[in-house]
Amino acid sequence: MSAKKSRGMIFFRVEECKGCALCVDACPVNVLELSSELNSHGYHPATYKGEGCTGCGVCYYVCPEPGGIKVYKRYDPEKHTAEVQ
């Protein structure tokens, strides 16, 4: 497993996560985990470990919350950072 290069990028909406961990279980490159922090609903939300996302979108499709996850298949920080914020 090569987790060095990040082709894709994943953003979580912390307040829309119920900590079911289906994305963590499904991620083929194992770059997701549940945060040790709690969100306002009292769940440990899923979070990106910080590198290695391939942009495959698997987490997006297994996530039961419609707006919980946003995935860039190809992510260019210079181009995309502004629209994410």
Partner 1 sequence: MSGNILEKPQSFYSEYTRKPGADTLTTHYCPGCGHGVLHKLIAEALDDFGVREKAIFVSPVGCSVFGYYYFHTGNVQAAHGRASAVATALKRANPDSIVISYQGDGDLAGIGGNNILQAANRGENFTTFFVNNAIYGMTGGQMAPTTLIGQTTTTTPRGRTHENEGYPLRVAELLATLEAPVYLERVLIGDPKYTMKARKAVRKAIKAQIEGKGFSMVEALSACPLGWKMDPVDAKNWVQDVLVKYFPLGVTRDNISEVEGYVPGENGNGRKPLSDRELVKKIDIPSDETTTTYPLPEAEDRYKHSEIKIAGFGGQGVLSLGVGLSQMGMLQQYHVSWLPSYGPEMRGGTAHCHVKLSHNPIGAPLIEKPTILVPMNKPSLYKFEDSVVEGGDIFYNSSLIDTPPKRSDVNVYPVDATEIADGLGNTKAANMVMLGAIIAKTGLLDKEAVITEMKQIIKKEKYVELNQNAVQAGFDALQSVSG
Enumerate binding residues for partner 1 (CB under 8 A): 13, 15-16, 18-22, 25-26, 28, 41, 43, 57-58, 60-67, 69-74
Residue among 3 and 26 whose Cβ is closer to partner 1: 26
Q: Which SS3 state, helix, strand or coil, does residue 83 take?
A: helix
Neighbours of 17 (CB within 10 A): 23
Bridge partners for 46 per DSSP:
34
Name the minimum Å distance from CB 36 to partner 1.
17
Bridge partners for 3 per DSSP:
none
Name the minimum Å distance from CB 26 to partner 1.
5
